[in-house]
Amino acid sequence: MSKKDLIDAVAKEAELTKDKATVAVDAVLGHIRSAMKDGNEVRIPDFGTFKVAKRKAREGRNPATGATINIPASRVPKFSPSKGLKDALN
């Protein structure tokens, strides 16, 4: 499902215009992004939790040359599905 498909589904389900559905979807995604950027997790009941994980700096190898490179520490997004979502898929 693409973002456009999601907007179409929200517009149909909520009986909104596509413009208003676009604003709603963008607002939800923006707030999730903003909360994660601040290091907070976002819990959506019966769906899952969006978290920010910290990766330590580490050494890696360039596969083309075999040279050792340093990979800096970073923050990465993680998603943990809820039990309700897992049960719905199985």
Share of the chain above pLDDT 90, in %: 98
Q: How confident is the model at residue 79 (pLDDT cuts 50, 70, 90)?
A: very high
- C-alpha pair distances (Å), 52 with each of 8, 23, 29, 45: 29, 25, 15, 18
Give the fold, CATH level 3, of 41-90: HU Protein; Chain A (4.10.520)
CA dist 55 and 62 (Å) reads 19
Q: What is the pLDDT of residue 60?
A: 94
pLDDT in tens, 33-70: 999 999 999 999 999 999 999 999 999 999 999 899 99
**Every domain of the chain and the residues it spans:** 1-39, 41-90
Q: What is the pLDDT of residue 8?
A: 95
Sequence-distant (6+) residues with CB within 8 A of 89 are none
Model-level pTM?
A: 0.77
Q: What is the pLDDT of residue 63?
A: 92
